[in-house]
Amino acid sequence: MQPISGFSKLNKKEKINWLTENYLKDSKQAKKILKQYWNDDAELQRLHDEFSENTISNYYMPFGIAPNFLIDGNLYAIPMAIEESSVVAAASKAAKYWLDRGGFHTKILGNKKLGHVHFMFKGDDQKLKAFFNSNLKDILKADTSSITKNMEKRGGGILSLELVNKSAQIPYYYQIEAKFDTRDSMGANFINSCLEQFAKTLERELAKDESFTQEEKDSLQIVMCILSNFTPENMVRAEVRCKVEDLAEEGISAEEFVEKFSLAVKIAEVEPYRATTHNKGIMNGIDAVVIATGNDFRAVEADAHTYASKDGTYTSLTHCEVKDGEFRFWLDLPIALGTVGGLTSLHPLVKFSLDLLGNPDAQKLMGIVAVAGLAQNFAALRSLTTVGIQKGHMKMHLYNILNQLGANTREREYFTVFFRDKTVTHHAVVEEFMRIRKLKSLDDL
Ligand code: MEV
């Protein structure tokens, strides 16, 4: 096998030919699979091709709906793009559960995003401080006015600029730390453009300033300019609350349920092994809505996990308490989302999702996403501390195996009843399937 140069310059057909001929045994079959996922609508296909680079096909994800979410008094049907079975079912179940108990409540805890110009300066720290605090901030703002004009019209813009001395961590390391309000956009482009202009201004103004020696001027080195995906000042809280007695269920008293549920949360608060799985379940809900609404799930993941480990030990993102007979369960989530820009007006399904949610602004969407995460966690903990997680999962496992076997509707119904009181294993399903179809081997299918 030889490396290829100019792959990106090949057209789609040439790319597929090269790929299938060089990497895949059955190139005819490989081409068939890739083409199966092309869209007949050439315009729509072109749109998808252009979202990324070197595209050769589309990758589908199931797009499901979790209805009955009562959030701050409004009813939502939440769109979720996720491949894992049971997630949408669990969200829907939690939504219904809380529908009868007052629904979900959200609160914005901050709307500031951060970015940094990271730079090195081998000179007098006091002079640098005086230079920054004289009128540099005004010049930095003035130089970015063409970038910030529209954002300011929408009520956002640069909120603050600070010089941060980080030389205790790395010798000569400083930052310009900038805080922004990016309104309904996620803000990455806006923030990064401002930061790159700040760096140019810093270089130009420091070179002109007579308080610095030539050596000090020459020592300035811009390392990089980039937003931070950690947004502890851009936070939302999602919460549910009800009287403890309202949590009683068939087979378990309210007190027993609350005790086990609270212990499950406490365990995730102190035990990183459990916290990782606990938070993964929360992200099942969060990512699904983030993807459906065309937002950057990698940024959302990074943000959440940094927050979960901000005190030095990885811990639970959700918490609960019981006070004066009331049960409260909440999620505090730093998250940066956009409802304008990016994919939001380009991807037809993203537009559909935002329409379905009533075209929320970024803060409302933050609340909806956090609610999906909290609901997911509630559903997981409710199952884990009562019937166990496998009951729900096994049903989906059974359907996946039956799908692979090509079972018909009647057979699916039969198997649902057959496995009601038995453990679902691949072997057991295949054995029963062969028995009822009177097959000697699956090759006879
Ligand atoms: C599975 O995707 C998520 C769970 O493991 C979450 C949890 O254990 O809390 C069920």
Largest pairwise CA distance in the chain: 93
Pocket probe for ligand 1: among 277, 278, 286, the residue whose CB has the most ligand atoms within 8 Å is 277
Burial of 119 (0-12, 13-18, 19+ CB in 10 A): buried
Give the distance (Å) from ligand 1 centre to CA of residue 380. 6
pLDDT band at residue 136 using 50, 70 and 90 as cut-offs: very high
Question: Looking at residue 317, what is its pLDDT?
Answer: 98
Percent of the residues in the chain that have a pLDDT greater than 70, as a whole number: 100
Asked whether 157 lines ligand 1 (CB < 6 A), one says: no
Is 9 in the active site?
no
Asked whether 281 lines ligand 1 (CB < 6 A), one says: yes
Could you name the CATH architecture of 63-110+232-388?
Alpha-Beta Complex (3.90)
Give the span between the Cα atoms of 172 and 216, in whole angstroms: 11
Asked whether 382 lines ligand 1 (CB < 6 A), one says: no
Give the distance (Å) from ligand 1 centre to CA of residue 278. 6
Which has more confidence, 135 or 223? 223
Asked whether 317 lines ligand 1 (CB < 6 A), one says: no
pLDDT band at residue 251 using 50, 70 and 90 as cut-offs: confident
**Alpha-carbon distances, residue 270 vs 311, 315, 384 (angstroms):** 12, 6, 18
Is 100 in the active site?
no
Is 393 in the active site?
yes
The answer, yes or no, to whether residue 59 has pLDDT greater than 80, is: yes
Give the distance (Å) from ligand 1 centre to CA of residue 46. 37
Six token digits for residue 45: 């296909």
Mean pLDDT, rounded, for 168-192: 97
Question: Looking at residue 338, what is its pLDDT?
Answer: 97
Question: Looking at residue 2, what is its pLDDT?
Answer: 87
**Catalytic residue, candidates 143, 287, 296, 303:** 296
pLDDT for 377-425, tens place per residue?
Answer: 999 999 999 988 777 677 778 888 999 999 999 999 999 999 988 888 9
Domain spanning 113-227 has what CATH number? Answer: 3.30.70.420
pTM over 0.95: no
∠ CA 369-371-375, nearest 5°, is 125
Question: Looking at residue 176, what is its pLDDT?
Answer: 98
Question: Looking at residue 174, what is its pLDDT?
Answer: 98
In the chain, where are the structural domains located? 7-49, 63-110+232-388, 113-227, 392-444
Question: Looking at residue 442, what is its pLDDT?
Answer: 81
Six token digits for residue 149: 């004009």
Is 127 in the active site?
no
The two domains 63-110+232-388 and 113-227 share their CATH topology (first three levels equal) = no
Q: Computed from CA positions of residues 307, 311, 314, 317, in that sequence, does the dihedral angle turn out positive or negative?
A: negative
Q: Please, what is the average pLDDT of the chain?
A: 96
Q: Measuring from atom 10 of ligand 1, which residue has the nearest CA?
A: 380
pLDDT for 89-114, tens place per residue?
Answer: 999 999 999 999 999 999 999 999 99
Give the span between the Cα atoms of 84 and 95, in whole angstroms: 18
- Sorted by sequence, the CB contacts under 8 Å of residue 44 that are 6+ apart come out as 348
